[in-house]
Amino acid sequence: MSLAGIKSIEDFELKDQRVFIRLDLNVPIKNGVITDDTRIRAALPTVKYALDHKAKIILCSHLGRPKNSEDRKDFSLEPVADRLSELLDAEVQLVEEPGSDTPKALLSGIHRRQLILLENIRFDPGEEKNSMELANKIASYVDIYINDAFGASHRAHATIVALPSIIKKKGLGFLMKKEIEMLDKVLIEPAKPFCALMGGSKVSDKIGVIEHLLEKIDTFVIGGAMAYTFLAAQNISVGSSKIEKDKISLAKELLGRLDARKKKILLPVDHVIVERLEKDAPSKICDVAIPAGFMGVDIGPKTIELFSQELKKAGTVFWNGPMGVFEMPPFSKGSFKIAEVLADSTAVTVVGGGDSAAAVNASGFANKMTHISTGGGASLEYLQGDKLPGIEALRPPQRGPQK
């Protein structure tokens, strides 16, 4: 039902048409070098399809959060253009001003293995303002609009909402379609038992998902920094661990609601702890209560075993949030071991993007997951029942009552 009435790229005749494809190429770049090209690779099937069907292609993406003109060098899509050229074996022309006449002029003489990539669309202040002026400028050189930027589709920005509102031929790409279909597997008819594996730092980020899926989920497995807030809600000492103090009462209420519905809840029973958050800091294992002066940085071996045994029984697992500070190798064991357990599982395993996706990719088990979302915030909003502006903008207009 989520995609009812929405067309896809396959529904259009693309030959010689000017096809605007909104992508999420917001990849990490350090010193001009892309450190993880997962999002670029995820976009390739849609771009290749358009190339194979002889479309005249305009690609568009944002990169980071540039604040002023001084940020242009640090947030340029030039490294992305180079990587796309390599992966597509095509010439990618980076266009500095999306609202100028340059794209239209280039499109008139574009060759078979050439395509246009607009420079970071957030360089134009109209993007984040959902500007119709910017949308109209781009629409002047676009015949077909395709949204394949799931990771940006929870934002009401110009190339996500305003632009498709004025283009008649519009639809979604292969990545968007897969994202929604996989999240619908979790939302609509998850194979039982259904386990929600929650981690990361913020309870507040996950409240909507927990509430929306409360009746569907059988077991809640809670690790990462958010577990310390839940432990604090049970009056268990968490030392100097990162917690959301203003969410302790909410965590306590949630635990009560889950218990009343006879939902199974697993929290850490031991931890890896340190006195200071540094990769070379001496660490030790402690039981459920963390002593003063120490902070939790990963789940302990007993917790890994407890969580693993539960996950092995699951029919569906939705994972959002790592189990510890996985970016520091000494504290990655919990997240990586959980990834390995899911890799060996027969369950439908859906990873909710963001830090969860980064942890799974770093673990080496990414190719064993059923689906890894490219949008952390977007996947959470979708699963908590929110309508994503980027999807709604693709729906055909509702016809009013007949007079």
* Span 237-289, pLDDT tens digits: 999 999 999 999 999 999 999 999 999 999 999 999 999 999 899 999 999 99
Query: Any idea which residues carry the catalytic annotation?
Result: 39, 202, 354, 377
> Residue 401 has what pLDDT?
47
> Could you tell me the two tokens for 209?
């998902």
Sequence-ordered list of residues with C-beta below 8 angstroms from that of 397, at least 6 positions apart, any chain: none
Sequence-ordered list of residues with C-beta below 8 angstroms from that of 138, at least 6 positions apart, any chain: 20, 60, 98, 99, 103, 158, 159, 163
Q: Could you give the strand order of the β-sheet that contains 371-372, starting from the edge strand earlier in sequence?
A: 264-266, 219-222, 194-198, 316-320, 348-351, 371-372
Sequence-ordered list of residues with C-beta below 8 angstroms from that of 358, at least 6 positions apart, any chain: 36, 322, 326
Quick check: 165 and 137 in contact, CB under 8 A? no
| β-bridge pairing 33-34 and 29-30 | antiparallel
The mean pLDDT value for 66-91 works out to 91
Taking the model in full, what pTM does it have? 0.87
Range ranked top by mean pLDDT from 204-208, 219-223, 378-382 = 219-223
Q: Over the stretch 94-107, which tens digit does the pLDDT of each residue have? A: 999 888 889 999 99
Q: Over the stretch 292-310, which tens digit does the pLDDT of each residue have? A: 999 999 999 999 999 999 9
Confidence of residue 353 (pLDDT cuts 50, 70, 90): confident
Number of helices (H) and strands (E) in the chain: give both, helices first: 14, 17
- Residue 170's identity, in one-letter code, is K
> Residue 403 has what pLDDT?
36
The mean pLDDT value for 188-215 works out to 88
